[in-house]
Structure 1
Amino acid sequence: MNILFVHQNMPGQYREFVQWLAATKQHRIVFLTQRKNAPKFDGVETVLYAPHHKPKQGTYGLSRIWEDAAGTGFGAALACEKLRDEGQFTPDIIVGHVGWGEMTFLKHVWPQTPIIGFFEYYYSEKGGPVGFDPEEKMTPHTPYLLAARNAVPMANYHVVDKGHAPTYWQRDRFPESFHDKMYVCHDGIRTDTLRPDPDARLNLQRLNRDVTADDEIVTYMARNLERTRGFHVFMRALPAIQKARPNARVLIIGGNDASYGTKSTAPGGLRGEMEAELGSRVDWDRTHFLGQVPYDHYQKIIQISRCHLYLSMPFVMSWSLLESMAMEATIVASDVAPVREAITHGETGLLVDFFDPAAVANQVIEVLNAPEDFAHIGPNARKRVVENYDFLTKCLPEHIAQINALVPADRRIEMPG
């Protein structure tokens, strides 16, 4: 089969799927992306495209997102026309993310090729991160700007033959009229490689020694240290945690930018803002900001963690939550709808009020005081992920089945196992 993947930041949500397909050596795989430093995968041809147009500064806010998406989509279509016209490639299936407009015009290039579109998020003023935290103020125009952002998924709903959402919460953000055309299946977690490791160890330069599961390690992880992922709540819980547990050491993973929502204007970003707010109430000698770390280091950090925190607003569930569950972490998480899809309080994790740093601290302290009382949570969490989100046994077969339903029988992907 000829398969075209489309994602401006290759590989995006297709990290596992595209590599698995390539490893079968049974398909020709082309990946269309803007990312010039995209990873190289054996058996995958990377094709770069550039947006045909970008909105100018000061462009009218209600049309800016669509203008950007249209320029991106036309640039992607021109790159695909070149593939077609040079006789290099005709896909049997196109699989890609609809959020930036890349998929919008691909039916004009290959009218007969079926498309599966990844629908990640539908914006609204209720039920998501916007308007959730009183510290992040909405303006009277915010609802209109959010509605305008939905022009892109609305247009792409009519382009795709099938839509895909990774969780039920994400699907249910979209209008009900979308649902019959969408299937729900996560990207998939490699539970075969993400496992607990009681022998894991990590060198902390400040201590000039390794830390292990024998140390009292509290961990927090996000792509960036920002409000959407509850970094400010976590930091406000720290003084009480450190006071109650004088041997606890805190490891924080994340960059100092903003992936979602508004970036802090304080010097040093939100981290600098929280450092200024908390001052000497935090023991900074026992607080380690590790930045964005290599994937193998991240695994070791979770494997030695005695209590891991995931404090997200209602938003797209992070891979890191499911990966940490697969590694049998004892997780304290915010009690919001997307998190409840994976965590049942007291069984696969511990849920707390996002807005209550004292409750967060108290729950972490309970775990650190009596880890044996919570020893069942990590194994239960792993079982939940294996049963519902495992890449090889759960997610991969479903994605293959959805693709095979759209292509001729003689072009189908062979099912694993």
Structure 2
Amino acid sequence: MTRTVLFVHQNFPGQYRHLAPALQARGDRVVAIGGPSSQPLPAIPLHRYDPLPPGGVPPCHPWAADFQTKILRAEAVARCLEALLKEGLRPDLVVGHPGWGELLVVKDLLPAVPVLHQVEFIYQLVGGDVGFDPEFADADWRPLARLRLRRATQLLALQDLDWGLAPTPWQASTVPAPYRQRLSVIHEGIDTAAIAPQGPARLQLQRAGLSFGPGDEVVSFVARNLEPYRGFHTFMRMLPRLQQLRPGAHVVIVGGDGVSYGAAPPGGGSWKEAMLRELGDALDRRRVHFVGRVPHPVLHELFRVTACHVYLTVPFVLSWSLLEAMSCGALVVGSATAPVQDVIEDGRNGLLVDFFDHRALAERLAAVLADPAGHAGLRREARRTVVDGFDLRRVCLPRQLELVDRLMAGSATQDGTAGER
């Protein structure tokens, strides 16, 4: 019997780039509802909703604006789903990300259909990203009040939770304790066959007229956008000391100039501009290369070439780039923060430093650059960590499919261990 799985994600395929095609390939019917920027996958019908109501967005209290945006999305998804149900759609399972409010009223249309939530991160009033970095702490009570209210839709989603799927243990720990018994920890998966050490690797920096290969003193840093949430300020403040210790080292920085999380620097502009102003002549810019955003294959080539990759983050969602760097056999120096410690054990499969200690970061990097052979074992263990725990085909996708099957069979909600790793 053919079963139907409905995906709901404002930026489809999002986290389901592998799961949705795998379900389709094995014979399930797969249908997707997504926002205006969603991208289709082959042979999977995509129905885009318009989150803007016909009469425009009504005025509301500023603190309620985020809630209203999510309610508008919930209503738009409901209208789209209602039309599909009238056309004969009968889902056996709904899979979606509750972060944008899209799943809030799905149960009112499909009360008997299980819903699998992608639980990426629940806002933390203490112990998470907010207030972690004292440089950006705000003594005013209003930002915390706004954060408390932003949790409303997340907590509503948990209340209706059939089952949740979190990518890492620490991200799962952000879920309030009463809901964790309905939660599986399964990462989306890394294609370790394709994202792997491969030779001969070569990185070309055309504007600088430079070419790097394995063995060159290259330090890499990657973030979607260069900002303090991913430790960009700490990384930049480290560079003058590193350049003193290793005068032949070059630094390649990948990332955009926008803001994904947090806020823009005081006075506007980008964090790159702000940090370059702060460092001034203390930094030799000839050895620091900002390359913006690059295609995925180029990023992997950088990971194969780099002598040391730096990954820093406040307590927040773990970036794919860390796991992909490790899968390519890169030696990672990361921040000793909870999301990174889920993956890296200091001295076994990478190195850890205090998020704020830019001097310690420089000295650790210099030690790695001075003795690459002595740190080769960390590279091997880094890749082994990803292959053993995060491989797409052998580990993550089979567990995701098993969890989907158990939910559609009605058994996962009666078994607190369904799909766990």
TM-score interval, normalised by the smaller of the two chains: over 0.9
Aligned to 2:4: 2
Inter-CA distance 408–169: structure 2 relative to 1 (3 Å threshold): closer
Contact 1:6–1:94 under 8 Å retained in 2 = yes
CA RMSD of aligned residues (A): 1.8
- Residue deviations 1:326-369 (CA, integer Å, cap 9, x gap): 11110010001111010000011100011111001000000001
| 3-state SS of paired residue (1:178) | helix
| 3-state SS of paired residue (1:375) | helix
**Do residues 260 (structure 1) and 261 (structure 2) align?**
yes
Aligned to 2:161: 160
Q: CA deviation at 1:282?
A: 1.2
Equivalent residue letter for 2:71: A
Using the TM superposition, name which of 384-393 and 61-70 deviates more. 61-70
Q: CA deviation at 1:142?
A: 2.6
Aligned to 1:235: 236
Contact 1:164–1:185 under 8 Å retained in 2 = yes
Q: CA deviation at 1:190?
A: 1.0
Aligned to 1:412: none
Partner Cα separation in structure 2 for residue 67 and residue 377 of structure 1: 48
Aligned to 1:385: 386
Partner Cα separation in structure 1 for residue 131 and residue 183 of structure 2: 27
State how 1:314-325 maps to structure 2 within 5 Å.
Answer: 314-325=315-326
Partner Cα separation in structure 2 for residue 216 and residue 99 of structure 1: 41
Equivalent residue letter for 1:28: R
Q: CA deviation at 1:78?
A: 0.5
Contact 1:266–1:273 under 8 Å retained in 2 = no
Partner Cα separation in structure 1 for residue 278 and residue 76 of structure 2: 45
Aligned to 2:193: 192
- Residue deviations 1:133-166 (CA, integer Å, cap 9, x gap): 1111222123322221111121112333111111
**Do residues 203 (structure 1) and 204 (structure 2) align?**
yes
| 3-state SS of paired residue (1:6) | strand
Partner Cα separation in structure 2 for residue 74 and residue 387 of structure 1: 42
Contact 1:198–1:213 under 8 Å retained in 2 = no
Aligned to 2:23: 21
| 3-state SS of paired residue (1:135) | helix
Aligned to 2:405: 404
Aligned to 2:126: 126
Aligned to 2:32: 31
Contact 2:334–2:350 under 8 Å retained in 1 = yes
Partner Cα separation in structure 2 for residue 267 and residue 283 of structure 1: 24
Equivalent residue letter for 2:41: F
Contact 1:233–1:354 under 8 Å retained in 2 = yes
Partner Cα separation in structure 1 for residue 90 and residue 328 of structure 2: 41
Partner Cα separation in structure 2 for residue 256 and residue 193 of structure 1: 29
**Do residues 244 (structure 1) and 253 (structure 2) align?**
no
Partner Cα separation in structure 2 for residue 275 and residue 188 of structure 1: 36
Partner Cα separation in structure 1 for residue 36 and residue 97 of structure 2: 14
State how 1:274-353 maps to structure 2 within 5 Å.
Answer: 274-353=275-354
Equivalent residue letter for 1:90: R
Partner Cα separation in structure 2 for residue 273 and residue 129 of structure 1: 21
Aligned to 1:222: 223
**Do residues 146 (structure 1) and 147 (structure 2) align?**
yes
- Give 4+ residue runs of structure 1 displaced > 6 Å after superposition: none
Partner Cα separation in structure 1 for residue 291 and residue 268 of structure 2: 19
Equivalent residue letter for 1:46: L
Length, aligned pairs only = 406
Aligned to 1:76: 77
Partner Cα separation in structure 1 for residue 372 and residue 357 of structure 2: 22
Partner Cα separation in structure 2 for residue 120 and residue 165 of structure 1: 6
Inter-CA distance 56–240: structure 2 relative to 1 (3 Å threshold): farther
Partner Cα separation in structure 2 for residue 266 and residue 293 of structure 1: 28
Q: State, as a whole percentage, how many aligned pairs show the same letter.
A: 37
Q: CA deviation at 1:208?
A: 2.8
Equivalent residue letter for 2:65: R
Structure 2 residues without counterparts, runs of 5 or longer:
411-418
Equivalent residue letter for 1:97: H
Using the TM superposition, name which of 399-408 and 360-369 deviates more. 399-408
Contact 1:55–1:64 under 8 Å retained in 2 = no
Partner Cα separation in structure 1 for residue 119 and residue 226 of structure 2: 25
Q: CA deviation at 1:198?
A: 3.5
Contact 1:228–1:261 under 8 Å retained in 2 = yes
Inter-CA distance 290–65: structure 2 relative to 1 (3 Å threshold): same
- Residue deviations 1:209-244 (CA, integer Å, cap 9, x gap): 432113211100000000000000000001111122
Partner Cα separation in structure 1 for residue 386 and residue 128 of structure 2: 24
Q: CA deviation at 1:269?
A: 0.8
Inter-CA distance 375–254: structure 2 relative to 1 (3 Å threshold): same
Partner Cα separation in structure 2 for residue 16 and residue 210 of structure 1: 34
Partner Cα separation in structure 2 for residue 351 and residue 159 of structure 1: 38
Aligned to 2:109: 109
Aligned to 1:40: 40
